[in-house]
């Protein structure tokens, strides 16, 4: 299970992103921005491509989370227009935790609350909603 946020912004220019070699889906610029914004406060890996978008990993309170980002943009669209984004957070759990139903991610997870606050406090990001 994961937590997903949707929001709208024209903050990121997806036309400058690296090409996703698996699927023509964008999202790298959001993860790079988060990595830059958080600086050395948290260890975030460089974004990598997946068939549904882009992902990075973060260590939060000695646990690993996957951060995912994607937005829909077609060749010929205006890269400076407001796009709808999906940002997801997935908490990595051990097999034992999964079997026993422990350490599930929820809307009250500290990592989720941190990124929700981060997105909501950015003036150029609007309509933040948990899906």
| pLDDT at residue 57, as a whole number | 97
Q: Which residues of the chain have pLDDT under 70?
A: none
| pLDDT at residue 69, as a whole number | 98
Contacts 24+ apart (CB under 8 A), 10-14: 10/80, 10/81, 10/82, 10/83, 10/124, 11/122, 11/124, 11/125, 12/71, 12/83, 13/79, 13/80, 14/71, 14/73, 14/79, 14/83
Number of domains in the chain: 1
Give the domain extent around 56: 3-130
Enter the pTM of the model. 0.93
């Amino acid at each position: 299970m994961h937590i997903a946020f949707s929001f709208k912004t024209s903050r990121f220019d997806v036309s400058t992103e690296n090409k996703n070699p698996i699927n023509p889906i964008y999202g790298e610029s959001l993860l790079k921005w988060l990595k830059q914004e958080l600086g050395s406060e948290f260890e975030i890996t460089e974004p990598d491509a997946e068939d549904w978008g882009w992902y990075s990993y973060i260590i939060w309170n000695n646990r690993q989370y996957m951060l995912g980002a994607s937005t829909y943009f077609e060749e010929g669209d205006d890269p400076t227009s407001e796009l709808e984004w999906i940002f997801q957070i997935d908490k990595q759990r051990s097999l034992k935790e999964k079997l026993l139903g422990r350490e599930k991610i929820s809307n009250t997870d500290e990592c989720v609350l941190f990124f929700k606050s981060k997105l909501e406090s950015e003036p150029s990001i609007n309509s933040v909603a948990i899906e």
